[in-house]
Structure 1
Amino acid sequence: MEITNINTFLDYYGKIRERTNRLIAVIPPEYMDWAYRPGKFTIADQIRHIAAIERYMFAETILGKPCSYSGCGKELADGYNEIIGYFNEKHEEALAILKKLSNDDLQRKCLTPANTPITVWKWLRAMTEHEIHHRAQLYIYLNLLDVKTPPMFGLSSEEIIQNSRLK
């Protein structure tokens, strides 16, 4: 689906972020440094990664600048409040850049970190897919830790079955 209107996209992307924020809000602070296996992203790494990629890869390349993503380690933010603050700060910085785009800008090309030209609207779509991908990983992490997670769209699978007319 082609993105042709920046304001419509920003509204959609805001809803994506609302779902991510609802999930992040249930993360117990004591689990921020947990990973399912040594050497894999921790919960905190996942959150920092979403933030840093959004700001330093997607937003920078849309501006015509080279990607400046340098990782998602503790040096960016350490501690529950600092991580959440970093996440929100980088999102606001990226939004400030995206809000300056015109509808015509959506049709121009930018260069990915692999130096591949891509239409800006397709790059924005990739940005949303990236966040959704990492949010799904956070759901799995939290389920492994027996943390109750919010349903994505208001009802859980069990509630949908319970309310189904096909009982």
Structure 2
Amino acid sequence: MILDMKEYVQYLDGVHKRTMHYVKALPNELLEWKPSEDKFSTGDLLRHIASSRLMFLGIFEHGSWTYAGHDTGKGASIEDISKYLEACQLKLTEGLLQVGNDTLTKKIKTMHGHEVSAWRILMAIPEHEIHHRGQISAYLQMNKIEPPQIFGLKIEQVET
């Protein structure tokens, strides 16, 4: 259970920073690449992560789930997408700090309409981002680009 919003926001910032390492590893040429026609492109995934941050914030601020989309108007280049990701992260963290600790014990409606403790929705934010970061890692590897190591070392480099 999450007990302190400030501590949670610090954790979320760490997740965001690790995601940004993946953004820096992406060449612009890979932004529209996707493994098949019915899948998100690399750029779509990044814009989706950013827009989803605002969607999650909306449930805490307004009590509604609203998704702004992931179209190229939210960034057509790595630079523009990076700015969008940063802006959405800032808005999310500032908004969560404003709703404060009292929110943590409240009940919030899920997308499916049933109520859960707010801290459970907060747990979904990094889980969602990490899921899509894993997809980006796979996309990089499918294009023969070594993804960044999120903690700086490959498992083979860890001393035992």
What TM-score, normalized to structure 2?
0.93
Offset, 1:158: 2.2
Q: What letter matches 2:151 in structure 1?
A: F
The residue that corresponds to 1:47 in the other structure is 46
Structure 2 CA distance, aligned partners of 1:31 and 1:125?
30
Q: Percent identity, please.
A: 28
The residue that corresponds to 1:131 in the other structure is 129
What is the aligned length? Answer: 160
Structure 1 CA distance, aligned partners of 2:150 and 2:77?
26
Structure 2 CA distance, aligned partners of 1:5 and 1:76?
32
Q: What letter matches 1:132 in structure 2?
A: I
Structure 1 CA distance, aligned partners of 2:80 and 2:18?
20
Offset, 1:101: 2.7
Superposed counterparts of 1:57-68, under 5 Å:
57-68=55-66
Offset, 1:29: 1.3
In the alignment, is the contact (CA less than 8 A) between 1:64 and 1:111 conserved in 2? no
Offset, 1:21: 0.9
SS in 2 for 1:14: helix
In the alignment, is the contact (CA less than 8 A) between 1:19 and 1:152 conserved in 2? yes
Q: For structure 2, which runs of at least 5 residues remain unmatched after alignment?
A: none
Offset, 1:153: 1.6
Q: C-alpha offsets along residues 73-110 of structure 1, whole Å, 9 cap, x if unaligned?
A: 22332222222211111111111211113222111112
What TM-score, normalized to structure 1?
0.89
The residue that corresponds to 1:37 in the other structure is 36
Structure 2 CA distance, aligned partners of 1:140 and 1:80?
18
* RMSD over equivalenced CA pairs, Å: 1.4
SS in 2 for 1:25: helix
SS in 1 for 2:145: coil
Offset, 1:63: 1.4
The residue that corresponds to 2:78 in the other structure is 80
Aligned with residue 96 of structure 1, among 94, 97, 120:
94
SS in 2 for 1:39: coil
In the alignment, is the contact (CA less than 8 A) between 1:35 and 1:43 conserved in 2? yes
The residue that corresponds to 2:20 in the other structure is 21
The residue that corresponds to 2:7 in the other structure is 8
Superposed counterparts of 1:152-163, under 5 Å:
152-160=150-158, 163=159
In the alignment, is the contact (CA less than 8 A) between 2:47 and 2:71 conserved in 1? yes
Structure 2 CA distance, aligned partners of 1:19 and 1:37?
26
